[in-house]
Structure 1
Amino acid sequence: MLEAKELTKQYKGLRAVADYSVRIKQGEIRGLIGPNGAGKTTTFNLLTSLVKSTSGTIYFEGKDITGIRPDQIAEMGICRTFQNIRLFKNLTVLENVLIATQINKNYNFLSVLLSLPSFLKEEKRLINYSLEILETMGLLYAKDIKARNLPYGQQRKLEIARALAVKPKLLLLDEPAAGMNPKESLELMELIRLLRGKFKLTILLIEHDMKFVMNLCEQIQVLSYGMLIAEGTAEEIRNNPEVISAYLGRAAEGA
């Protein structure tokens, strides 16, 4: 579904990402791990065109998408969440999701201006779809609550709900379990598996919780200082001497 070849991002004398390559199959859940500053979020920014690469190419479903605009990336079916939550905090939970559905709206300016039946029908469809997503995410109870009033873990879920509203084919999750307790992390793990099946998703995620990554992801890549140092199954990564030295350490023993 997605293939990146030798992606590099250089800021003057600093290489944030160097020659990163990946091939992600449809339906796969893949992890991207590494220590802080390894270049993980920069990689996400390159894949979603929020940052332009210095060199390298990106293909999505066989099409070269290198350098196209972020909104075009989203329209093609690649959507993401952020490490630092970026909700519309003064809007309700439902409004946050509804905003994202507008990328798939099926009406024009005139129908909106005149409140034509076609516009009203489409708005009802988008509202119902948003409510369905909130129900799946366990957030239906909070649809009329302002996003800023949700607990942190629920805000994380709302970010995922908003991404789902775009109807992505490939979903990029940047530290989805950050700030969650072990029970919440386990619930999120099961939820991500459910979302993959229900919405026919392919998922690439960044996460520091090693139990979360090792138990969820079929394939894992490891970055260190912007360079890919390992790729494989959870078992292969857990026992890779270079990965243990660079990142996992004793954390691998409990993962």
Structure 2
Amino acid sequence: MLEAANLTKKYKGLTAVDSYSLRVLPGRIHGLIGPNGAGKTTVFNMLTSLVEPTEGRVLFRGEPITGKRPDRIAKLGLARTFQNIRLFKELTVLDNILVAAQIHKQYGFFSAMLGLPSYTREEKALHHNAIRLLEEVGLAGLAHHKARSLSYGNQRKLEIARALALAPKLLLLDEPAAGMNPNESMELMGMIRSIRDRYDLSILVIEHDIPFVMQLCEHIQVLNYGQLIAEGNPEEVRSNPEVIKAYLGRSAEHA
């Protein structure tokens, strides 16, 4: 589904990410963890072409996407959320979804201007799909509220629903559980599994909440100081001495 090879990002002599590689398999939930400043968000930004790598390349479904415009990548089926929520806060919850859905519209300018039947049919379909996505994340009852009025947790859910409106094949979630209490995190975990199954998605998650990742993800990578130090299933990663040292600052023998 997604393959990254030798991704490296340097900023004036500082190496933020060094020779990072990744393979995301279809239908799997992958996790990327690491201490603060490990380079996780830089990796996401390179994968989605918000940041151009100094070295390396990214393939999405076999097609090179390094250097492509982010909107082109989204149209190919790769969608993401952001660590800092980026909603259209003065628009309604429903309109946030409809804005994203426009990337796949088929009607042209004149069809919309003249209100032709093709335009009307497609707009109704987009509206129906937007409501369905809001139901999926439990926000249908807030469809006509402004996005800024939502709680923090619900804003996170709306951002995920907006990403789903792009009809992705791969969904990248940047710290989706940030700021959530344990109950909200558990609810989010169930929601992510549900949308993976319902929409036949592959999902890549970066997160500081280690128990969240360990319970949710089937394959996990660990970054530290921009370098990949471990990967495997949750049990393998949990018991890896390098991971213990990175998080606890001491060797496995003393952990």
TM range (shorter): over 0.9
Task: Show the 5 A alignment for 1:106-145.
Answer: 106-145=106-145
The Cα offsets for residues 179-215 of structure 1, whole Å up to 9 and x where unpaired, read as 1110010010011000001111100001111111000
Aligned counterpart, 2:27: 27
Runs of 4+ in structure 1 off by over 4 angstroms are: none
Aligned counterpart, 1:221: 221
Other structure's SS at 2:115 match: coil
Aligned counterpart, 1:102: 102
For the structure 1 residues 248 and 184, does the alpha-carbon distance in structure 2 shift closer, same or farther, using more than 3 Å as the test? farther
Q: Does residue 200 of the first structure (1) align with residue 200 of the second (2)? A: yes
For the structure 1 residues 88 and 187, does the alpha-carbon distance in structure 2 shift closer, same or farther, using more than 3 Å as the test? same
- Give, as a single letter, the amino acid of the residue that structure 2 aligns with 1:72: R
- Give, as a single letter, the amino acid of the residue that structure 1 aligns with 2:159: E
Other structure's SS at 2:32 match: strand
TM-score scaled by structure 1?
A: 0.97
Taking the aligned partners of 1:240 and 1:65, their CA distance within structure 2 comes to 33
Cα-Cα RMSD: 1.2
Taking the aligned partners of 1:115 and 1:14, their CA distance within structure 2 comes to 54
Unaligned runs of 5+ residues in structure 2 are: none
Taking the aligned partners of 1:167 and 1:86, their CA distance within structure 2 comes to 19
Aligned counterpart, 1:2: 2
- 1:53 CA displacement: 0.6
Q: Does residue 174 of the first structure (1) align with residue 199 of the second (2)? A: no
The Cα offsets for residues 17-50 of structure 1, whole Å up to 9 and x where unpaired, read as 1100001100010000001111000000000000
For the structure 1 residues 166 and 207, does the alpha-carbon distance in structure 2 shift closer, same or farther, using more than 3 Å as the test? same
Taking the aligned partners of 1:249 and 1:149, their CA distance within structure 2 comes to 41
Taking the aligned partners of 2:12 and 2:223, their CA distance within structure 1 comes to 21
Other structure's SS at 1:187 match: helix
**Which deviates more from structure 2 when the two are superposed, residues 161-170 or residues 66-75?**
66-75
Q: Does residue 36 of the first structure (1) align with residue 65 of the second (2)? A: no
- 1:122 CA displacement: 0.5
- 1:113 CA displacement: 1.0
TM-score scaled by structure 2?
A: 0.97
Other structure's SS at 1:27 match: coil
Other structure's SS at 2:156 match: helix
Aligned counterpart, 1:157: 157
- Give, as a single letter, the amino acid of the residue that structure 2 aligns with 1:84: N
- Give, as a single letter, the amino acid of the residue that structure 2 aligns with 1:14: L
Percent identity (aligned): 65
- Give, as a single letter, the amino acid of the residue that structure 2 aligns with 1:94: L
Aligned counterpart, 2:230: 230
- 1:249 CA displacement: 6.7
Count of residues paired in the alignment: 251
Other structure's SS at 1:57 match: strand
Task: Show the 5 A alignment for 1:52-91.
Answer: 52-91=52-91
Other structure's SS at 1:83 match: coil
Unaligned runs of 5+ residues in structure 1 are: none
Taking the aligned partners of 1:235 and 1:35, their CA distance within structure 2 comes to 18
- Give, as a single letter, the amino acid of the residue that structure 1 aligns with 2:161: A
- 1:60 CA displacement: 1.1
Aligned counterpart, 1:241: 241
